Structure 1
Amino acid sequence: MRSTLAACGVLLATAAMSSGCGAKPADDVGRVVAAGGVDFSATLGVADVAPGEVNTVHITGLCVKGSGDGVVTAVEAAPNSGLVVRRFTVLKEMAEVGGAKDSFENLGLESDRRAVEQKCGKGIAGSALYVEIEPSGSKSVHSPYLTIESEVAGINNSFRYPLGLTLCVVGEKNAKFCKE
């Protein structure tokens, strides 16, 4: 009888603590998401890349779904892909750059912006995410996705963006993904 009363007391205490006590409902906390969604799979390839050559690519539009301000904290290629994300930036809108064989500095892109300033909604293109990428060595590289990490209202989140990135090194014909 005593153990039954103790168990009931623990259950009541747990239910009372989880009922709110100032906690934000999960629906109120925002998330940084891809403005066009992630229900697709595509690959962007750059041919004749010199080893160590830097390329700048527009990845997607980002928006905040829900409440709060969003900040992108990291963008990473798939592990062991050989693709290096040197840096990233989030611009208010898409710049007149894309697939450029050049660095942020030479293209005039700010490299220290992280804020996602647009809220999600119908017809919203979102804040433009750009990455500066290069192969890690002298071989062609392919990453089937990028992981985008963010923070909204103090809560960290991440998602995989299914845009594959391929950098085919000059003269490299052995890599399967460069033949396709």
Structure 2
Amino acid sequence: MAGVVEWVKSYSLVFLFMTVLTTAVAKKEYRKYIQIFVEIILVLTLLDPLLELTGRSEDLFEKISYDSFFQGLEEMKKDQAKMDFMDKEAYISYYEKALKEDVALLAESMGYVVTDASVSLNEAYEVEKIEVSVAKAQVETVIIGSVEEQPQKAEITALKERIRDYYRVEEDKIIVRD
């Protein structure tokens, strides 16, 4: 009988506290959320003695805490995967841009004007493909104005070999257009 009286006292205190909490909320938008929370707490408080009789009270609260822990862990894993994906994508884009500029400088050092360049990297930051469109640097002639010379096949091959040696990439991954 003393256990029932103790339970009624604890339930009354919880009920009183939850009632004060519900009425103390200032904004009406939050009242419905607080009300749901209060109802869940009251139901758990009401069921606690019944669960103690069967020896499952601790199991229930343990399962609730495990479930919330694993749910939080899953959300963290999803967030981490999302951040890793976004970071990796940003880094790949940054490195592709840097390599594109570097390839352009390499071609310009050999006397070419780069009209277009692109570099593709895989997820392991390895070069998938290098594409460069070049034209021979403008040469001034006696005639007023300038004329672009088209690069010779041997010069294109030399540029391709230099890119291959510099980046240690297979030759089939390098495309040089004139």
TM-score range, shorter chain: under 0.3
* Greater share of residues in strand: 1
The structure carrying a bigger helix percent of its residues is 2
Larger Rg: 2
TM-score by length of 1: 0.21
